[in-house]
Chains A and B, each alone.
Chain A
Amino acid sequence: ADAGRVLAVPAARQLARELGVELTQVQGSGPNGRIRPLDVHRHAQRSAEPA
């Protein structure tokens, strides 16, 4: 309902800032699509791979 809220644990939010990852682009693997640090790492790795 609250469109602005991204469900992510605090450590994932912190990591996303450090890696320059936009949390809204990350697929969360937790309940309700909750984003965990591992998801942020995966996203950052995928983005770094050549297309």
Chain B
Amino acid sequence: MTNAPLNFDLLVIGAGPGGYHAAIRAAQLGLKVACAEMGAVGGVCLNIGCIPTKALLHAGETMAAGKHATEFGLNFGAPTLDIPKLNGWKDSIVKKLTGGVSGLFRANKVTHLVGQASFVDAHTVRIGDQTVTASSIIIATGSEPAALKGLDVDQRVIVDSTGALNVPDPVPARMLCVGGGVIGFEFAHIYNNLGTKVKVIEFLPNIIPGADADAVKEFSKSMKKQGIEIQTRTKANSATVNGNEVVVEIENVETGEKTLETFDRVLVAVGRRPRTDGLNLAAAGLQTTERGFIEVNRRMQTAVPHIYAVGDVAGNPMLAHKAMKEGLVAAEVAAGKPSEQDAVAIPGVVYTSPELAWVGLTEQEAKDKGYSVKTGVFPMSASGRAMTLQSTDGFVKMVVEEGSDLLLGVHIVGPHASDMLGEASLALEMAATASDVALTIHAHPTLGESVLEAAEAVHKQAIHIINR
């Protein structure tokens, strides 16, 4: 049986954050849109990324909070954890949100097609057993965990981020996180709070690549204080699974010293790779870069102008909010609007406790770009609100250009740093100065005041600390 091809103004391939944003915005602008997805709508972020990790982080933090409450005389006793219930609660949030995306597709009259997409030519794509033609096509196929030689993921003892989302019963006693990036540390924090002894190893000299060096130092100090062991310049060479245990050969890359260590679980979180398998890009006249990305311009157009790529598959940083913005841009350009990915800065967040969040240039990046730099730092230990929240680790660090006072970057380690970051992102987009921030009344007592005080500290006029 041959079906007549389905015709659309726009076909979006992938229903992750980039894809569903593109599909919905294009529909809002009056285009006839189809969105193809071979797995679950919502993509990695909703199903096996942002959302389920944040649910588990909240559970772990609530357990830790119970312990800290004894400091003010509140005793809950030893917590018990119903692991099937925890996993079920996490899954229910995912279900609700992915159901929400499906509902939004229906409400916006986006046609949801199920199946693997494969280009036939630059305007034609096979989706499962259907043929779709479209004036414009957006590729939003995302990424998947990168493999590590010597450590084969079995999703039981050796897991990637997807396997790590399923909390085993009982919780593992000893866990190794291979990779000291955002994903590695979020899982390290989850399992540490659930009672696992966690070790994080990172090949590079520093954890959390891309973050400000001072912020990373402060973050690292807090993680260690909470019991997470961190070894940099260290790699895992091989792993041998014996029943429910795994013996890992760990090597110090500076000294060459090798040790064998036993764990109950190993998480491989060494990065992610763009996913274009099965797409048959060549039929569309496209190719990927050496690292597997599809190159795009600021309008998110590929080398074939009516084909766009957004999100993880279009390049770093692989972040949901970047994909969302790019999805909107691609949809708007496909609808004939003069849209561009013109963001001054893309924020980054590690959702541990304290959180590490940043936007704009690090102090080093600003210097490398030739700026004459001034900084202002306000420690959370001087924040009244942070004290009332029992969360005084961390600081707000502001990087500004000397003379013009122009804000270049904001780096926060502290409670709710991710939410405080919204103000900093807006300030950067509006080309605000440290004075603009310092002159803005921030409610008291709030954590956000620390941003104001960091701006004051740039001018050596902070009130709640001694300015040096």
Contact yes or no, B338 A17, CB < 8 A: yes
Q: How many A-B pairs fall under 8 Å by CB? A: 35
A2: interface (CB < 8 Å): yes
A40: interface (CB < 8 Å): no
B323-341 interface code vs A (CB 8 A; 1 in, 0 out) = 0000000000000001110
B433: interface (CB < 8 Å): yes
B404: interface (CB < 8 Å): yes
The residues of A that contact B339 with a CB separation of less than 8 Å are 14, 17
Contact yes or no, A1 B431, CB < 8 A: no
Contact yes or no, B429 A32, CB < 8 A: no
Q: Which of A17, A18, A34 is within 8 Å of B431, CB to CB?
A: A34
The residues of B that contact A30 with a CB separation of less than 8 Å are 431
The residues of A that contact B406 with a CB separation of less than 8 Å are 7, 32
A13: interface (CB < 8 Å): yes
A15-35 interface code vs B (CB 8 A; 1 in, 0 out) = 001100000000000111010
Q: Which of B340, B344, B371, B431 is within 8 Å of A32, CB to CB?
A: B431
What is the bound-complex CA distance between A32 and B407, given in angstroms?
11
Closest CB-CB distance, B21 to chain A, in whole Å? 17
Contact yes or no, B404 A32, CB < 8 A: yes
B444: interface (CB < 8 Å): no
What is the bound-complex CA distance between A32 and B212, given in angstroms?
26
Contact yes or no, A9 B401, CB < 8 A: no
Q: Which of B370, B429, B436 is within 8 Å of A10, CB to CB?
A: B429
Q: Which of B338, B371, B429, B433 is within 8 Å of A2, CB to CB?
A: B371
B411-439 interface code vs A (CB 8 A; 1 in, 0 out) = 00000000000000000011101001000
What is the bound-complex CA distance between A7 and B436, given in angstroms?
15
Contact yes or no, A31 B433, CB < 8 A: yes
Contact yes or no, B401 A1, CB < 8 A: yes
Closest CB-CB distance, A34 to chain B, in whole Å? 5
Q: In the complex, what residue of chain A is closest to B430 when comparing beta carbons?
A: A9
What is the bound-complex CA distance between A5 and B406, given in angstroms?
12
Q: How many residues on B have C-beta within 8 angstroms of the other chain's C-beta atoms? A: 18
Q: In the complex, what residue of chain A is closest to B338 when comparing beta carbons?
A: A17
Q: If the complex has contacts A7-B406, A17-B338, A32-B404, are A2 and B430 also in contact, measured as CB distance less than 8 A?
A: no
Q: Which of A1, A7, A34 is within 8 Å of B371, CB to CB?
A: A1
Q: How many residues on A have C-beta within 8 angstroms of the other chain's C-beta atoms? A: 15
Contact yes or no, B340 A7, CB < 8 A: no
Closest CB-CB distance, A29 to chain B, in whole Å? 13
Contact yes or no, B431 A7, CB < 8 A: yes
What is the bound-complex CA distance between A34 and B428, given in angstroms?
12
The residues of B that contact A7 with a CB separation of less than 8 Å are 406, 431
Q: Which of A2, A9, A32 is within 8 Å of B370, CB to CB?
A: A2
B372: interface (CB < 8 Å): yes
Q: In the complex, what residue of chain A is closest to B370 when comparing beta carbons?
A: A1
The residues of B that contact A18 with a CB separation of less than 8 Å are 338
The residues of B that contact A13 with a CB separation of less than 8 Å are 340, 342
Q: If the complex has contacts A1-B369, A2-B370, A32-B406, are A17 and B433 also in contact, measured as CB distance less than 8 A?
A: no
What is the bound-complex CA distance between A18 and B337, given in angstroms?
8
Q: Which of A1, A5, A9, A32 is within 8 Å of B433, CB to CB?
A: A32
Contact yes or no, B429 A9, CB < 8 A: yes
Q: Which of B371, B372, B431 is within 8 Å of A8, CB to CB?
A: B431
Question: Which of B371, B401, B406 has most chain A Cβ within 10 Å?
Answer: B406
What is the bound-complex CA distance between A5 and B345, given in angstroms?
12
The residues of B that contact A2 with a CB separation of less than 8 Å are 369-371
The residues of A that contact B338 with a CB separation of less than 8 Å are 17-18
Which B residues, 128 to 168, have Cβ-Cβ distances below 8 Å to chain A? none
Question: Which of A1, A18, A30 has most chain B Cβ within 10 Å?
Answer: A1
Contact yes or no, B371 A9, CB < 8 A: no
Contact yes or no, B429 A1, CB < 8 A: no
What is the bound-complex CA distance between A5 and B369, given in angstroms?
11
What is the bound-complex CA distance between A25 and B404, given in angstroms?
21
Which B residues, 383 to 408, have Cβ-Cβ distances below 8 Å to chain A? 401, 404-406
Contact yes or no, A17 B371, CB < 8 A: no
What is the bound-complex CA distance between A14 and B431, given in angstroms?
15
Which 3 pairs, one residue from A and one from B, show the smallest C-beta to C-beta distance? A17-B338, A7-B431, A1-B371
Residues of A within 8 A of B (CB): 1-2, 5, 7-10, 13-14, 17-18, 30-32, 34
Beyond A30-B431, A31-B433, 9 extra complex contacts between A and B, CB < 8 Å? A2-B369, A9-B430, A10-B429, A10-B430, A14-B339, A17-B340, A32-B406, A32-B431, A34-B430
Q: Can you name 21 A-B residue pairings with CB atoms under 8 Å?
A: A1-B369, A1-B401, A2-B369, A2-B370, A2-B371, A5-B344, A7-B406, A9-B429, A9-B431, A10-B342, A10-B429, A10-B430, A13-B340, A17-B338, A17-B339, A18-B338, A30-B431, A32-B404, A32-B431, A32-B433, A34-B430
